[in-house]
């Protein structure tokens, strides 16, 4: 005997957001009424373990093996009884990305085996109702994430940018008194947001703000004795205030490095508005530093609404320059 329990739902959220919720099984207890508990690693051929709950039916242990994973498109797992041919169930989610903001979700399970005839009626009625309840819960969670308006960075969220050059202005640390002060004596270029784990970020900001000045154009005018290298083993050595932790500038000492001759600053540390960011880089690194993958769609949408292109490295302009630098090194 073979049967399919078929359900579907349209979710007003990007497929990436829906997928991230399905794949983040550790958070199932927060929202999933059908599978309120599931543990393990979601990679192909791995077995995960939890429970399946359906109103009006017994709670049953769940120990399926993951059989297919296609990021943001498909997730399948297989449960079988030890006796061959007795009972087999393949549970699957297929995400159809109709556009960037709408996902059609197919949530089905294919059943087969000699035991199926005894249990199909409650599966098809009570089980179907439980699957549809999960679909609605998934829709609610995904649409909630998709509609979020995350705080990216105070300079961006305020929407006010510098209309004049920062030449002659002073970067100040966060100390209430005896501040570290660094004067900018040259033009500021390539201002951007960054999601990497190394860049200093203001409190509550998801992204750092970084710009560069040509070497020799920064002058420590006060509090230099409070500056210390954050990590001297990094290619870009950041110097921060020992007291408040604010990063004041970064410098490259390796003459072969593609950023040699540049100093990195956080332009929001001047007294007035910072320049408008040209792009946001290393955005996906936010996941590595603790941001829920399901929230990344809203973050990228907020950047887009602010007119800031987002990338998972530097901008194409800078990446081309880095590639050309590698060619120059190889030919020298």
Is 314 in the same domain as 191? yes
Is 163 in the same domain as 68? no
CA gap 183, 222 in Å, rounded? 9
State yes or no: pLDDT of 78 exceeds 70: yes
Is 194 in the same domain as 67? no
* Beta-carbon contacts of residue 278 (< 8 Å; ≥ 6 apart): 190, 191, 192, 308, 309, 315
- Please say which residue of 115, 146, 177 terminates a domain: 146
244 is catalytic: no
β-sheet with 218-222: strand ranges across? 170-172, 181-184, 218-222
13-28: per-residue pLDDT in tens?
999 999 999 999 999 9
Structure confidence at residue 98 as a pLDDT band (50, 70, 90): confident
Alpha helices in the chain (DSSP H): 15-23, 116-122, 128-146, 154-157, 285-288, 296-305, 316-331
In a 10 Å sphere around its CB, with 0-12 CB exposed, 13-18 middle and 19+ buried, how is residue 58 labelled? exposed
3-state secondary structure of 25: helix
State yes or no: pLDDT of 328 exceeds 80: no
Q: How confident is the model at residue 31, as a pLDDT?
A: 98
Q: How confident is the model at residue 159, as a pLDDT?
A: 81
Is 175 in the same domain as 39? no
Structure confidence at residue 211 as a pLDDT band (50, 70, 90): very high
Do 2 and 55 touch, CB atoms closer than 8 A?
no
Structure confidence at residue 76 as a pLDDT band (50, 70, 90): very high
Asked which of 3-12, 32-41, 229-238, 262-271 is least confident by mean pLDDT, the reply is 229-238
Once rounded to an integer, what is the mean pLDDT over residues 321-330? 84
The catalytically annotated residue of 173, 175, 199, 241 is 199
- Please say which residue of 106, 126, 146 terminates a domain: 146
Is 142 in the same domain as 162? no
Q: How confident is the model at residue 327, as a pLDDT?
A: 84
Q: How confident is the model at residue 293, as a pLDDT?
A: 92
Q: Which residue has the tokens 């970064």?
A: 250
Is 142 in the same domain as 198? no
Tell me the CATH number at 129: 3.30.530.20
Is 101 in the same domain as 11? yes
199 is catalytic: yes
194 is catalytic: yes
State yes or no: pLDDT of 71 exceeds 70: yes
Is 242 in the same domain as 301? yes
Q: How many CB atoms within 10 Å of residue 34?
A: 21
Q: How confident is the model at residue 332, as a pLDDT?
A: 67
Once rounded to an integer, what is the mean pLDDT over residues 284-296? 92
Q: Which residue has the tokens 């990195």?
A: 264
* Domain housing 307: 154-331
Q: How confident is the model at residue 321, as a pLDDT?
A: 84
The distance from CA 79 to its chain's CA centroid, rounded to whole angstroms, is: 31
Is 132 in the same domain as 180? no
Is 236 in the same domain as 301? yes
State yes or no: pLDDT of 93 exceeds 80: yes
Which bin fits 295, alpha (ψ -120 to 50), beta or left (φ > 0)? alpha
Q: How far apart are the first and last CA of the chain?
A: 71
Is 240 in the same domain as 260? yes
Tell me the CATH number at 170: 3.90.1590.10
Structure confidence at residue 44 as a pLDDT band (50, 70, 90): very high
The catalytically annotated residue of 175, 177, 194, 241 is 194
* Triad 178, 230, 233: Cα angle to 5°: 155
- Please say which residue of 87, 116, 146 terminates a domain: 146
Mean residue pLDDT across the chain = 94
Is 180 in the same domain as 256? yes
Once rounded to an integer, what is the mean pLDDT over residues 191-202? 94
292-314: per-residue pLDDT in tens?
999 999 999 999 999 999 999 98
Instruction: Give the total number of structural domains in the chain.
Output: 2
């Amino acid at each position: 005997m073979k049967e399919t329990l078929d359900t579907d739902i349209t979710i007003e959220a990007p497929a990436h957001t829906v997928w991230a919720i399905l794949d983040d099984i550790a958070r199932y207890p927060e929202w999933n009424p059908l599978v309120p508990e599931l543990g393990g690693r979601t990679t192909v051929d791995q077995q995960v373990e939890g429970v399946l709950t359906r109103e009006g039916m017994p709670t049953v242990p769940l120990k399926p093996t993951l059989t297919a994973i296609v990021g943001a498109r498909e997730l399948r797992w297989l449960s079988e009884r030890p006796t061959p041919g007795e009972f087999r169930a393949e549970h699957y989610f297929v995400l159809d990305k109709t556009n960037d903001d709408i996902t059609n979700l197919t949530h089905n399970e294919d059943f087969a085996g000699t035991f199926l005839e005894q249990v199909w009626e409650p599966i098809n009625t009570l089980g179907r109702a439980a699957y549809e309840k999960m679909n609605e819960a998934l829709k609610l969670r995904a649409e909630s994430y998709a509609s979020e308006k995350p705080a990216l960075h105070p300079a961006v969220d305020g929407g006010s940018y510098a209309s004049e050059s920062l030449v002659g202005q002073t970067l100040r640390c966060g100390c209430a008194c005896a501040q570290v002060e660094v004067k900018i004596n040259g033009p500021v270029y390539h201002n951007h947001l960054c999601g990497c784990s190394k860049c200093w970020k203001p409190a509550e900001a998801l992204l750092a703000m970084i710009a560069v000045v040509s070497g020799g154009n920064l002058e420590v005018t006060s509090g230099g004795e409070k500056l210390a290298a954050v990590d001297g083993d990094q290619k870009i050595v950041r110097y921060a205030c020992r007291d408040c932790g604010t990063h004041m500038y970064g410098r490259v000492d390796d003459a072969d490095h593609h950023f040699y001759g540049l100093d990195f600053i956080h332009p929001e540390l001047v007294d007035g508005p910072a320049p408008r960011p040209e792009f946001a880089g290393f955005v996906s690194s936010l996941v590595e530093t603790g941001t829920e993958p399901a929230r990344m769609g809203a973050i990228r949408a907020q950047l887009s609404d602010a007119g800031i292109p987002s990338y998972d490295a530097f901008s194409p302009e800078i990446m081309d320059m880095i590639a050309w630098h590698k060619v120059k090194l190889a030919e020298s």
